[in-house]
Every structure is written in C-alpha cells, then in structure tokens.
Amino acid sequence: MAQGAALAGEADYLLFTDADIGYGPGTVAGLARAARDGGRAMVSQMALLRARTGWERIVVPAFVYFFAQLFPFKRVNDPRSRVAAGAGGCMLIRRVALAKAGGLDRIKGALIDDVALGTLLKRDGNRCWLGMTRDVRSVRPYPRLADLWHMIARSAYVQLRYSPVLLAGTVLGLLFLFAAPPAGLVAWMVAALAGHGRAVLTGGTAAAGGVTLAGAAGLAGLLAMACSYAPMLRFYRLSPLRAPSLPLIAVLYAAMTVDSARRHYRGRAVSWRGRPADKTS
C-alpha cells in the first residue's frame, strides 16, 4: 500500500483494493464523486464476496452480518461516533487527509489494516463512509470450510486484542444471543413431548410455567434473529428460509474464534499473505 501510494504521486485520491476485486462500470468515478461531494476522507464499499459453493453460502453472508454487528455502518458513517472501520477490498482515501493523519506508517504493523486505516482517519477528525454494493465483487474462491475457517481465524483473536476477557465475553455473547433462544425452544418442545402432562403445555405449575416462558422467549428470539438476518440473505440472493440456521452458524463462528486464540497460545502465529500478526498493533 505504501509503495502504491508513493508511485501515485500527487493524486487527489488513492484507491486501495485487492487483486481479486472487480469493479462495475462507473463505480470508481462514483466513489470519487461521493468522497468529493460529501467532504469525506474515506469512502469504502464492502465487496460482494463469492457465495457459490455450499460452505460459501453458509458462512459468507453471516461473515458480513457479524461484521456489520461489530461495526454498525450507521455508526461508522456518523462523525459523532467513535466507531470506525473500512472494507479493505475497496477504500478510496483522500491523500492529503491520510498524510495529515500520519500516513500508512502509523498502521504498518496492523494485520486488520482496513479497520486500522478507518480508525486512523476518523480519529483525526475526518468524515468516513462505509457501505455495501453489488458493483464491487470479490472473485476469490473459498470452496472448503477449511479456507473459510482460516479467513476468519486469522484475525478473530487479533480483533479481540489478544484479550482472554474479550474472548470469553465474545464467545458467551454469541452463545447467549444466538444459541440460547433455540435452546429454550427445544427445551420446551422436549418437555412437552416427554409427557409432563397438560401442566407443561398450559403452564399450570411453576416449573412448567418456566419451561413455557423459556419456549416463548426462545421462539421470539429465533424469529427476531431470522428477521434481522433475512436482508443479508436477500442481498446475497439466497433464500430467506436459510435464516433460522443463524444460531448454528454463530456456534461455528464461536468455534473459529476460540481456535484463533488456541493457535495464538500454541505459538502458531496467525499469518496473512506471508506476514504474521503484530501483537502490538
């Protein structure tokens, strides 16, 4: 990135992108207009990731969904919010703003360089914008679960700043928010089918009432999850009938996050494109 910026010379804007990213006609010009007209130092579009194989269709939409939960786009785009992020496949940066913020040297050790760059610019008082589009596409294939697992595990524990406390909170949060609701619903169904009499079905006793309440809360939570996930599935042109699978995918992501930490503590440094994670970044 630094070499490209140096070769670009006195250009007003720098487009940081990846070799596996394709742009629709007029997309880059549109980014430049949005940056100029909005007075923004960064305009970033999250590329449409490939979702052709079975595992890609399971993991990729959820990856973008969880990213948007961690870095809500509305807050990233709000100058009053401290939340900052970028999508590394497509980042149009105003060169003068980047130089004023300290340049790429400030993030040279960051494994998650897109979030680091967005944070650098926003904390220097710049307006930034992050969105999603189908006009910017990634053609990089992730045909196997192992490929997707590495993509996520390489940066999960880095994002948690190598903190066991944040790791525990993240895993417990994923399980509580995504696994607990269907577990409550299943517990109610099992109790009903186990023949605990009409008390279970009608809530006629305190115990049965608790099971019934857990089942109702679980159903409500599962429906809320499905409704929140359905727009992302539609964005990827996948059936909304996949939405109820989100709890299982969340458990899979929790396992990937734990594995990222396991690799770190076993001395297997997470690397990306030949460089190890910088523990100080």
DSSP secondary structure letters along 21-72: EEE-TTHHHHHHHHHHHHT-SEEEEEEE----SHHHHHHHHHHHHHHHHHS-
List the domain range (segments joined by +) for residue 194.
Answer: 164-276
Tell me, yes or no, whether 22 lies in a domain: yes
What Rg, from alpha-carbon coordinates, does the chain have?
22
Considering the domain architecture, whether residues 21 and 128 belong to the same structural domain is answered as yes
Choosing from 141, 173, 195, the residue where a domain stops is: 141
Write out residues in the chain with pLDDT < 70, as ranges. 195-211, 268-281
Residue 32 domain flag: yes
Specify the pLDDT at position 206: 53
CATH number of the structural domain spanning residue 24: 3.90.550.10
**Could you give phi then psi for residue 18, rounded to 5 degrees?**
-120, 160
Asked whether residue 214 falls in the same domain as residue 112, the answer is no
My answer on whether 8 and 127 are in the same domain is yes
What is the per-residue pLDDT across 50-65, written as a single tens digit (0 to 9) for each? 999 999 999 999 999 9
Model pTM score: 0.86
| Residues 199 and 131 both lie in one domain | no
- Looking at residue 280, its pLDDT comes to 38
Question: 133 in helix, strand or coil?
Answer: strand
Alpha carbons 14 and 1: distance in angstroms, whole number: 10
Q: Which of 106, 141, 176 is the last residue in one of the domains?
A: 141
Answer yes or no: do 118 and 229 share one domain: no
- Would residue 105 count as lying in a domain? yes
* Terminal Cα distance for the chain, rounded: 17
> Is 77 in the same domain as 191?
no
Residues 7 and 134 grouped into a single domain: yes
Tell whether 10 and 45 lie within a shared domain.
yes
183, 117: one domain: no
Number of domains in the chain: 2
* pLDDT tens digit sequence for 146-199: 999 999 998 899 888 899 999 999 999 999 999 999 988 888 888 777 755 455
| Short-list 45, 43, 44, 19, CA closest to 139 | 19
Q: From CA 19, how far away is CA 87, in angstroms rounded?
A: 14
Q: Per the domain annotation, does 185 fall within a domain? A: yes
The token duo for 45 is 């579009």
Looking at the fold, whether 258 and 190 belong to one and the same domain comes out as yes
